[in-house]
Structure 1
Amino acid sequence: MKLDITKACADSLRTFTQNNYGIQLKSSHAHELVAAYFGYASRAALLADKKCPLSNLQDAEIIIMNTPTLFVEQRLKTLENLPSGLPSVDILAEGVYSPILIDDQLSGKIWAGIHEVAIAYAENRAFDNMRMMGMDQKELDWLTEVDIKPMETHVLIAVTFDYPAKAKKPMRYASVKITLPCIAGNIGYDKPEVMPTFYNGHMRDPDFRLRHGIDELWQ
Structure 2
Amino acid sequence: MSIDLSKLCADFMRQNHASQSTTKLKASHARELVAAFFGYKSHAALMAEKTYPLVQLEEAYIFIPDIPLMNERRSRLNGLPNDLGRSIDLAKLLSDMLADEGLGGEYTWLYDSLENYIVEVLLPDCQYLIDNQLSGAMAETNAEFFDSPYYDDVQIEDRGDELVAIAKSQYKGKPMDDKPFCGDTLDMVVQVILPRIAGKRGFYEYELEAGGCVNDDWVDPELRYGKRYQSRLAEELGITEEELECLEWDTLENSSDDGLIYGFVLTFDESCPPEILDKIRGLSDSLTVRVSANAFDSPYPDEPEENLH
Identify the TM-score tier after normalising by the shorter chain.
0.5 to 0.7
- TM-score, with structure 2 as normaliser: 0.50
Q: Which has the larger radius of gyration?
A: 2
Paired letter, 1:177: Q
Residue of structure 1 in register with 2:71 after alignment: 70
- Structure with the largest fraction of helix: 1
Matched, 1:151 2:158: yes
- TM-score, with structure 1 as normaliser: 0.66
CA-based RMSD: 3.8
Q: Taking structure 1 as reference, are residues 177 and 32 closer, same or farther at Cα in structure 2, changes over 3 Å only?
A: closer
Q: Taking structure 1 as reference, are residues 85 and 198 closer, same or farther at Cα in structure 2, changes over 3 Å only?
A: closer
Alignment check: 8 A CA contact 1:65 1:187 kept? yes
Matched, 1:189 2:196: no
Equivalent of 2:129, from 125, 136, 139?
125
Q: SS in structure 2 opposite 1:106?
A: coil
What's the CA shift for 1:159? 5.1
Q: Taking structure 1 as reference, are residues 58 and 152 closer, same or farther at Cα in structure 2, changes over 3 Å only?
A: same
Equivalent of 1:140, from 138, 142, 146?
146
Alpha-carbon distance between aligned partners in 2 of 1:107 and 1:41, rounded to the nearest angstrom: 21
Q: Taking structure 1 as reference, are residues 18 and 108 closer, same or farther at Cα in structure 2, changes over 3 Å only?
A: same
Residue of structure 2 in register with 1:163 after alignment: 172
Higher relative contact order (CA 8 A, sep 6+): 1
After superposition, residues 4-19 of structure 1 pair within 5 angstroms as: 4-19=4-19
Matched, 1:204 2:210: no
Residue of structure 1 in register with 2:263 after alignment: none
Alpha-carbon distance between aligned partners in 2 of 1:129 and 1:92, rounded to the nearest angstrom: 38
Alpha-carbon distance between aligned partners in 1 of 2:26 and 2:192, rounded to the nearest angstrom: 41
After superposition, residues 31-180 of structure 1 pair within 5 angstroms as: 31-68=31-68, 69-77=70-78, 82=79, 84-90=81-87, 91-104=89-102, 106=104, 108-113=106-111, 114=114, 115-117=116-118, 118-119=122-123, 122-128=126-132, 140-145=146-151, 147-153=154-160, 154-158=163-167, 160=169, 162-164=171-173, 170-172=184-186, 175-180=189-194
Q: SS in structure 2 opposite 1:142?
A: coil
Q: SS in structure 2 opposite 1:127?
A: helix
Alignment check: 8 A CA contact 1:155 1:182 kept? no
Q: Taking structure 1 as reference, are residues 183 and 127 closer, same or farther at Cα in structure 2, changes over 3 Å only?
A: same
Alpha-carbon distance between aligned partners in 2 of 1:205 and 1:22, rounded to the nearest angstrom: 64
Q: SS in structure 2 opposite 1:30?
A: helix
Alpha-carbon distance between aligned partners in 2 of 1:44 and 1:13, rounded to the nearest angstrom: 19
Alpha-carbon distance between aligned partners in 1 of 2:17 and 2:173, rounded to the nearest angstrom: 51
Percent identity over paired residues: 27
Return 5+ residue gaps in structure 1 as ranges: 131-138, 207-219
Q: Taking structure 1 as reference, are residues 73 and 30 closer, same or farther at Cα in structure 2, changes over 3 Å only?
A: closer
What's the CA shift for 1:38? 2.2
Q: Taking structure 1 as reference, are residues 160 and 52 closer, same or farther at Cα in structure 2, changes over 3 Å only?
A: farther
Return 5+ residue gaps in structure 2 as ranges: 135-144, 218-309
Deviations 1:39-90 (A, max 9, x none): 323222111012343222122221222412432223423xxxx564442443
Q: Taking structure 1 as reference, are residues 193 and 84 closer, same or farther at Cα in structure 2, changes over 3 Å only?
A: closer
Q: SS in structure 2 opposite 1:178?
A: strand
